[in-house]
Amino acid sequence: MKLRAVLIVWCVLGCVTPAAAQAGAAGETSASLRKNFEAVSGWLIKAAEQVPADTYTYQPAKTVRTFGQQIAHVVDGYNYFCAAASGKKAPWSETTEKGNTDKATLVQKLKQSTASCTAVYAGTGPAHELINNIAHANLHYGNVITYMRMLGLVPPSS
């Protein structure tokens, strides 16, 4: 009886059922994932727009991607991770990275893949795929920052 009385008082003060708590936590997780994706994807779009077209072939060393290939690789990552998060079986593909890596093409493809991913982040896809996408995008945004600094440009997140 005492436990029931405690639970009644607790519920009067703002009872949250385990199911409601879990739903609230899921909502907070979804909101956090959306916020983080919006930040990194926004910086990547701004960087892609900011870097001059003639420097998309910039490559600090022959063993690393060009700036354009970095942006293309992010597009390929978005396509892979967000397809997986929406329940589609999609193998990793380097189609964008191995294709045309000029500025006009890549800015358009980056915006398209960002829009597709944004729609997935609005849903209830598996968090691990969405987290992997954010981690991958942040990793390569770090590369983009370095390239921009080497080109004498200020990254959007600065």
Can you give the pLDDT at residue 26? 55
pLDDT 10s digits, 21-72 = 444 445 678 899 999 999 999 999 999 999 999 999 999 999 999 999 999 9
CB 67 within 8 A of CB 58: yes
pLDDT 10s digits, 93-107 = 999 999 999 999 999
The closest alpha carbon to 78, from 44, 35, 101, 52, belongs to 44
Can you give the pLDDT at residue 5? 42
DSSP-based three-state secondary structure for 153? coil
Per the domain annotation, does 60 fall within a domain?
yes
Looking at residues 1-28, what average pLDDT do you find?
45
What b-and-e string marks burial along 58-88, b requiring 16 or more CB atoms within 10 Å of the CB?
beeeeeebbbbbbbbbbbbbbbbbbbbbbee
Alpha-carbon span 59 to 42, nearest angstrom = 23
Per the domain annotation, does 155 fall within a domain?
no
Can you give the pLDDT at residue 124? 75
Assign 4 a pLDDT band (cuts: 50, 70, 90): very low
Return the CATH number at 101: 1.20.120
CB 77 within 8 A of CB 141: no
Per the domain annotation, does 87 fall within a domain?
yes
pLDDT 10s digits, 109-134 = 999 999 999 999 998 778 999 999 99
Range of the domain at 141: 36-150
Per the domain annotation, does 9 fall within a domain?
no
The Cα-based distances of 32 to 20, 43, 152 in angstroms read 18, 17, 33
Per the domain annotation, does 19 fall within a domain?
no
DSSP-based three-state secondary structure for 11? helix
Looking at residues 76-80, what average pLDDT do you find?
98
Can you give the pLDDT at residue 9? 38
Can you give the pLDDT at residue 125? 75
Residue 16 has pLDDT above 90, yes or no: no
Per the domain annotation, does 14 fall within a domain?
no
Per the domain annotation, does 10 fall within a domain?
no
pTM of the complete model beyond 0.85? no
Per the domain annotation, does 20 fall within a domain?
no
The Cα-based distances of 60 to 54, 57, 68, 128, 143 in angstroms read 15, 10, 12, 32, 11
Domain count for the chain: 1
Can you give the pLDDT at residue 25? 46
